[in-house]
Structure 1
Amino acid sequence: MVTDKDGYIHLVQYLTEHLGIFANSQQQSAADDTVMELFEEQLAAQIIMVCGQNPSLTFAQRNLVIREVDSIVYDLEEILARVASQKATAEQTLFITEFSCLIKNLFDQEISKLLAA
């Protein structure tokens, strides 16, 4: 649905190009959440929004969305393995929020195509 699309590959590249944001653990943490917890919370909020905006999604389609999110979280855990348990800084929090919104945009596009078919 999403993880097999070029847009997702570009987002993963965007994340890897900005790994420097996560490399500097010297900065003051701005959140009680770790980097991975923040990614999970932000993605969950975005997917809840996607499903809420698309009440016509079937149970099977919603399950597909959830499986895709699980796959995305797995990819994030792989990419961010060394920093996943660090407390998030303000800059990281901003990036994670932006990245999660971009993921939501991918789902919005694919769901729009799915429901139009």
Structure 2
Amino acid sequence: MVTDTEGYIHIIEYLTEHLSLFENSSAANNSSETVIEVIEQELSEQIMIVCNQNEELSFNQRNIIIREIDAIVYDLEEILSGVITNPITNSQKEFLKEFALLIKNLFDSEVHTQFLS
């Protein structure tokens, strides 16, 4: 659905262009949240919004969306494997919030194209 689109490829390229945010992050960061926790939280929130905005989605369509999110999380775990369990910095958190919004926008577009048209 989403992970095989040109838009997803561009979003992943956007992430790779900003990998320097995740390299050499400050060890003095006192955040109790890790990179993966923020990824999961932000993507979960955005997908709940997608589903709430599209109440007419069937159970099966919602399951497709959830499987897609699982695939995206897996991709992010692979790309960020070296830092995934590190405490998150404020700049990383802001980037991941923006990244999750881009993913939501991609889902908005694909939901309307594939399910609601």
* Same-fold call, TM cutoff 0.5: yes
**2:57 counterpart residue number:** 57
Contact 2:61 2:115 in 1 (8 A): no
Structure 1 residue 23 displacement after superposition: 0.3
Task: Tell me the CA shift for residue 2 of structure 1.
Answer: 0.3
Q: Structure 1 residue 25: deviation in Å?
A: 1.9
Alignment match, 1:94: 94
Alignment-derived partner of residue 84 in structure 1: 84
Return 5+ residue gaps in structure 1 as ranges: none
Matched pairs, number: 117
Q: 1:7·1:106 contact (CA, 8 Å) conserved in 2?
A: yes
Tell me the residue number matched to 1:112: 112
Deviation at 1:29, TM superposition (A): 2.9
1:4 aligns with 2:4: yes
Contact kept? 1:34, 1:88, Cα under 8 Å: yes
After TM superposition, the structure 1 stretch with the greater mean CA deviation from structure 2, 25-34 or 9-18, is 25-34
Structure 2, unaligned runs of 5 or more: none
**In structure 2, the residue corresponding to 1:88 is in which secondary structure?**
coil
Amino acid at match of 2:32: D
CA drift at 1:28:
4.7
| Separation of aligned partners in 2, 1:106 and 1:28 | 35
Aligned CA RMSD, in angstroms, stands at 1.2
Shift of 1:115: 3.4
Distance 1:90 1:30, change over 3 A: farther
Cα deviation, residue 18, structure 1: 0.4
